[in-house]
Amino acid sequence: MNRKNTVLHYVISICTAIISLVLQVTAIVYLRTGLYNEAETAFLLSYALIAVVLLYLYFICHLVNKIRIKAKNHSITFTRMATSLARDYDGIYYINTEDDSYVEYGVTDDDDETLRLVSSGDNFYTDAEKNIKDSVCDEDKQKMLKILSKENIENAMNNNDVLHEYFRIFVDGVERYHNLKVIQGHGVEEKYIVVGIRDVDAQKRREIEMKSAAEEGITFGKIAQALASGYEVLYYVDLETDEFYEYCASEEYSKLDIGSHGTDFFGTSQRNMERGDIYPEDYPMMAAAMERESFINSMQTRGFLSLTYRLMLNDLPEYVNLRAVFPKNDDKHVVIGVININEAMQREREYKQQIDNVMNLANRDALTGVKNKNAYNNLEAELNKQITNESKPEFAIAICDVNNLKQINDTRGHKAGDAYIREACMMVCRVFKHSPVYRVGGDEFVVVMRGDDYDNRNALLTELRTQVEINKEEGGIVLACGLSTYNEHKDISVAEVFERADYEMYKNKKILKSTQD
């Protein structure tokens, strides 16, 4: 019940009480005038209204009290949650990004259910710099000064990044590992930054010990080191006996139900793939790669194996990468890790799509929508490379030049000229419908014919020139066109073919002008 509704209920109660009083006065007046029946009725109605008001007020008070108790319980619950989370940290700093002031909170009493204010300051970054210089290990000072600089934190928050870093602090004269975490506030709290620092000395030293064990050749040390690289599933396989152990770090991958230990790694892998763990299109490749002799030969030849394929997880294909390596100084065993790269592959596809879009825009003529001179230059370079490599490409080039464009621009304006160019382009595209068309100048188009258009090049040229003659009579688009075919015995570059086509186009232009005059 909100404040507005509560006031409304009280107003109704007061109005009802007033009506009851009016009835009381009316009853007294009736008594004095001898109207005893009417007086009795008025008294009864008055008492009934008073009873209703009392019950109504009791109900309202009970409801308000219940809501207050519920709100208090919610507040206690959220306080306990915040306190429980805060117990993981030695210090939590709440930084106001508007003026860099800060407040430090902590839990100082194990039985206390509230966060306590530990300290505060006017400038977090200045105080952080002083604390780093006073208490952080010398090897980590420069790193932490850079990480906790105002510029670095603001850049990270602007990019929606979360900062994580390990560093060492002297506590009672002893180095202890700590972890720093910096996050942006959300919603109305976005003007704040939260910095958490916690003691992770025991955890970090265990990691160091495991890494050291891996360097000494201890199996579980090797597995831990591989897990640290982000693998979802790990296998430790004895290549002499095919016995294997599986270590699964993700619930999704454990649902594959491969088992944590087995005696026939390659046979088990093949059976798992056959039952549908692998995306069907990738199954043949993986079945061949994970065949025992093929796998061992690849490992002995290269020393490692890397395979990217799609695994069926939750009935959806996700890209994963399998990497296999020999442990240090041990070619009798192999560590195989599977890492999920689905997000990375999606980002790569999105990035490629963006690049393709940009390249497409860079190679498109804005006025006509056909390819531009830059795209033609790329194709010319590709064809020249084929000619140099003696690939003997089959192609022909047609050059089309629009007539009367200057006259249209001068008499009817450039908008009319642009429309004339677009119509001319559409005419060329309709004739050479299977070939790329390039606008290489203001009124010049190039067609590179291959395939069907190459085989029918002379007929297509005749079709275009016939249409031009019709257009001349009807006042339509007029353009000159010349064609030349690549001669593998004579031409050493595309430029020579282009020059012959250009010469033929000018010959056609002269004919058109003479007949027009």
Q: What is the pLDDT of residues 97-107, one digit of tens each?
A: 888 888 887 76
CB distance 210 to 199 below 8 Å: no
More confident residue, 377 or 40: 377
pLDDT given for residue 126 in this prediction: 92
Q: Given a cut of 70, is residue 357 above it in pLDDT?
A: no
Q: Mean per-residue pLDDT for 152-170?
A: 85
Q: Beta 244-248 vs 233-238: how paired, if at all?
A: antiparallel
CB distance 345 to 326 below 8 Å: no
Q: Mean per-residue pLDDT for 361-390?
A: 89
Q: Given a cut of 50, is residue 252 above it in pLDDT?
A: yes
pLDDT given for residue 391 in this prediction: 82
More confident residue, 249 or 226: 249
pLDDT tens figures, 86-142: 556 777 888 888 888 888 877 655 555 555 677 788 999 999 899 889 889 999 999
- Nearest 5°: phi and psi at 229? -85, 0
More confident residue, 349 or 203: 203
Q: Please state which of the ranges 9-23, 189-203, 319-333, 368-382 shows the lowest mean pLDDT.
A: 9-23
More confident residue, 220 or 421: 421
The confidence band for 422, taking pLDDT boundaries of 50, 70 and 90, is very high
Q: Given a cut of 80, is residue 269 above it in pLDDT?
A: yes
pLDDT given for residue 40 in this prediction: 74
The confidence band for 295, taking pLDDT boundaries of 50, 70 and 90, is very high
E-only strand ranges, 303-457: 304-313, 316-325, 333-340, 371-372, 396-402, 437-439, 444-449
pLDDT tens figures, 440-458: 988 999 999 999 999 999 9
Q: How many CA atoms lie within 13 A of 274 on its CB side?
A: 7
Q: Given a cut of 70, is residue 392 above it in pLDDT?
A: yes
Nearest Cα neighbor of 19 from 59, 53, 67 is: 53
pLDDT given for residue 444 in this prediction: 94
Nearest Cα neighbor of 480 from 449, 453, 445, 455 is: 445
The Cα 134–Cα 144 span in angstroms is 12
The Cα 132–Cα 129 span in angstroms is 5
The confidence band for 76, taking pLDDT boundaries of 50, 70 and 90, is very low
Q: Please state which of the ranges 13-22, 336-345, 374-383 shows the lowest mean pLDDT.
A: 13-22
pLDDT given for residue 65 in this prediction: 67
Q: Given a cut of 60, is residue 482 above it in pLDDT?
A: yes
More confident residue, 155 or 49: 155
Q: Please state which of the ranges 195-209, 325-339, 490-504 shows the lowest mean pLDDT.
A: 195-209
The Cα 130–Cα 102 span in angstroms is 15
pLDDT given for residue 80 in this prediction: 47
Q: What is the mean pLDDT of the chain?
A: 81
Q: Given a cut of 70, is residue 318 above it in pLDDT?
A: yes
